[in-house]
Amino acid sequence: MRLNTLRRHFRESFKSLGRNGWMTFASISAVTVTLLLVGVFLVIMLNIQHITKQIERDVEIRVHVDLSATDADKDALRAKLEAFAGVEKVTYSSKDEELQKLIDSFGEDGQSFRLFEQDNPLSDVFIVKAENPLDTEKIAKQIETLPSVSKVKYGKGQIEKLFAATTTIRNVGLALIVGLLFTAMFLISNTIKITIFARRREIEIMRLVGATNGFIRWPFFLEGLWLGVLGSIVPIAIVLSAYSYTFDLLYPRLKDTFFQLLPFYPFAWQVATVLVLLGACIGMWGSLMSVRRFLKV
Partner 1 sequence: MIEMQDVYKTYPNGVIALNGISVRIKQGEFVYVVGPSGAGKSTFIKMMYREEKPTSGKIMINGVNLANIKNSKVPLLRRNIGIVFQDFKLLPKLTVYENVAFALEVIEESPKNIRKRVMEVLDLVRLKHKARFYPDELSGGEQQRVSIARSIVNNPAIVIADEPTGNLDPDTSWEIMDIFERINDRGTTIVMATHNREIVNTIRRRVIAIERGKIVRDEVKGEYGYEA
Binding site for partner 1 (CB under 8 A): 1-2, 4-5, 8, 19, 201-202, 204-213, 215-216, 296-297
Q: How far is the CB of 238 from partner 1 (least distance, A)?
A: 36
Q: How far is the CB of 197 from partner 1 (least distance, A)?
A: 15
Tell me the C-alpha to C-alpha distance, in Å, between residue 130 and each of 88, 152, 225, 267.
Answer: 5, 14, 44, 27
| Spatial CA neighbour of 80 closest among 136, 124, 126 | 126
Q: How far is the CB of 45 from partner 1 (least distance, A)?
A: 43
Amino acid code (one letter) for 126: F
Secondary structure of residue 276 in the 3-state scheme: helix
Q: Residue 2 or residue 253: which is nearer to partner 1 going by CB?
A: 2
Q: Residue 74 or residue 207: which is nearer to partner 1 going by CB?
A: 207
Q: Residue 21 or residue 252: which is nearer to partner 1 going by CB?
A: 21
Q: How far is the CB of 48 from partner 1 (least distance, A)?
A: 49
Q: What is the 3-state secondary structure (H, E, C) of 189-255?
A: HHHHHHHHHHCHHHHHHHHHCCCCHHHHHHHHHHHHHHHHHHHHHHHHHHHHHHHHHHHHHHHHHHC
Q: Residue 89 or residue 200: which is nearer to partner 1 going by CB?
A: 200
Q: Residue 18 or residue 157: which is nearer to partner 1 going by CB?
A: 18
Residues 6+ apart with CB under 8 A from 42: 177, 239, 271, 274, 275
Q: How far is the CB of 287 from partner 1 (least distance, A)?
A: 19
